[in-house]
Amino acid sequence: LAARVDFIDNKDELSKLSLVFNEMMDRLEESFHHQNQFVEDASHELRTPISIIEGHLNLLIRWGKEDPSVLNESLKASLDELARLKKLIQDLLLSSQTEPLQIETDIERVDPADVIIKIVDDFSVIHPEMIFEVETRYLSGIWLAISVGHLKQILMIVIDNAIKYSGDEKTIRITGKLVTENTVQLQIIDSGLGISNEHIAHVFDRFYRVEKARSRKIGGSGLGLAIAKRLVDNYQGSIRLESVEHEGTVVTVVLPRSFA
Ligand code: ADP
C-alpha cells in the first residue's frame, strides 16, 4: 500500500486512514476479480480435453469390442488428450502460483549458447520446414547462474510461439550477447504474423490470445508468455515483446548472469 497510518489522534489522520482503507478494498476487489477470472478461464480450458476423452470412451463402450480400429484410434486419441491435459495442469499450476519459485537448489552454471543449440536441434526435428539462424558467438565463454530447466522452458515457449505464428515466413533468428558486464540478452526474431498494437500490451496476461479463432486453430492455451514472464521475473530479469502486424515479432529476454 502507498500510505501507512501509524496512530490516529486527529481528524486528518482519520481521513488518511479511510483513504488507505478504501485503497485496500479496491485492491482486494481487484484481486478477487482476477482470481475468479482465472478459475473461469482454467475451467474452460480443462473442459475441452475432458469432453474429447469422454467422447472417445463412449465410442469405446459402443464399438470398441467389435471394431479394433475404433479401439486403437480412440485409445490413442484419449492418450493424446490426457497428455495435453497433464501439460495444461502443469501450466495452470505454474502460472497461478505467486510465491517465488524454489530455485536456489537448482542453480547451475549454464552455458546459454549450448542450451539454445540443443533446443534448436530438437525443434528442427519436429519442424523440418523451419530455418533457424542462430548467432551465439557473442555468448562464447559466457555463463548464467540459472536452473537449466527454467532457461529451457523460457526459450522453448518463445521459440515455439515464433514457429506457431510464423505464417509463410519460415526463418527464425536467435541471437545472444552480453549487454552489460552482468547481463545477457537473448532475442528471438520472426518475420511472421506479428501482433497489432492494441494486443501487444496484453500478451503476457494469462489466457490472452490475439484473435481467438486464429490462435485456437494453431493451439496453445494463452499461458506460455505468462509463464515465461514469471520465470524471468524470478531471476530479476526482464522479457519484452515488440511486434509489427504482418511483419514479425522480436522477443527480448534479459537475464542477470548471477542474481541477488
Ligand atoms: P499461446 O499458447 O496462445 O501461444 P502465449 O501466452 O504464448 O499463448 O501467447 C499469447 C498470444 O500472443 C498468442 O496467442 C499469440 O496470439 C500472440 N503471440 C505470441 N508470440 C507471438 C509471435 N511470435 N508472433 C505473433 N503472435 C504471437
The pLDDT value given to residue 176? 97
Distance, CA of 80 to chain centre: 21
Q: What residue's CA is closest to ligand 1, atom 19?
A: 161
The pLDDT value given to residue 258? 83
Please tell me the distance from the alpha carbon of residue 207 to that of residue 256, in angstroms, as a whole number. Answer: 28
User: Does 165 sit in the ligand 1 pocket, CB within 6 Å?
Assistant: yes
Q: How far, in Å, is the centroid of ligand 1 from the Cα of 52?
A: 24
User: Does 48 sit in the ligand 1 pocket, CB within 6 Å?
Assistant: no
Please tell me the distance from the alpha carbon of residue 79 to that of residue 85, in angstroms, as a whole number. Answer: 10
Q: How far, in Å, is the centroid of ligand 1 from the Cα of 28?
A: 29
User: Does 209 sit in the ligand 1 pocket, CB within 6 Å?
Assistant: yes
Q: Which is the closest atom of ligand 1 to the Cα of 192?
A: 24
Helix axis angle, 11-59 to 68-96, nearest 10°: 170
Please tell me the distance from the alpha carbon of residue 185 to that of residue 253, in angstroms, as a whole number. Answer: 6
Helix (H), strand (E) at residue 255:
strand 248-256
Which percentage of the chain shows pLDDT scores above 70? 92
ipTM over 0.95: yes
The pLDDT value given to residue 104? 62
Q: Which is the closest atom of ligand 1 to the Cα of 206?
A: 6
The pLDDT value given to residue 227? 93
Q: Which residues pair with 174 in a beta bridge?
A: 134, 188
Q: How confident is the model at residue 3 (pLDDT cuts 50, 70, 90)?
A: low
User: Does 195 sit in the ligand 1 pocket, CB within 6 Å?
Assistant: yes
Question: How many Cα atoms sit within 13 Å of 159 on the Cβ side?
Answer: 29
pLDDT tens sequence across 72-109: 999 999 999 999 999 999 889 888 877 777 666 788 99
Amino acid at 13: E
Q: Which is the closest atom of ligand 1 to the Cα of 190?
A: 23
C-beta neighbour count of 103 within 10 angstroms:
16
pLDDT tens sequence across 17-65: 899 999 999 999 998 988 888 888 899 889 989 999 999 999 999 999 9
Please tell me the distance from the alpha carbon of residue 207 to that of residue 231, in angstroms, as a whole number. Answer: 17
Dihedral angle sign, alpha carbons of residues 24, 28, 230, 192: negative
Q: What residue's CA is closest to ligand 1, atom 1?
A: 222
Please tell me the distance from the alpha carbon of residue 125 to that of residue 132, in angstroms, as a whole number. Answer: 12
User: Does 147 sit in the ligand 1 pocket, CB within 6 Å?
Assistant: no
From the list 244, 248, 245, 201, the residue with the least C-alpha distance to 225 is: 201
User: Does 249 sit in the ligand 1 pocket, CB within 6 Å?
Assistant: yes
Question: How many Cα atoms sit within 13 Å of 208 on the Cβ side?
Answer: 13
User: Does 161 sit in the ligand 1 pocket, CB within 6 Å?
Assistant: yes
Q: Which is the closest atom of ligand 1 to the Cα of 157?
A: 7
pLDDT tens sequence across 167-204: 999 999 999 999 999 999 999 999 999 999 999 999 99
Q: How confident is the model at residue 6 (pLDDT cuts 50, 70, 90)?
A: low
Which segments of 30-107 are extended strands (E)? none
Using the predicted structure, report yes or no on whether residue 244 has a pLDDT greater than 80. Answer: yes
The pLDDT value given to residue 259? 63
The pLDDT value given to residue 213? 55
Q: What is the mean pLDDT of the chain?
A: 90
Q: How far, in Å, is the centroid of ligand 1 from the Cα of 11?
A: 52
Cβ neighbors of 64 (< 8 A, separation 6 or more) are: 70, 71, 74
Q: How far, in Å, is the centroid of ligand 1 from the Cα of 172?
A: 15
Q: Which has the higher per-residue pLDDT, 1 or 176?
A: 176
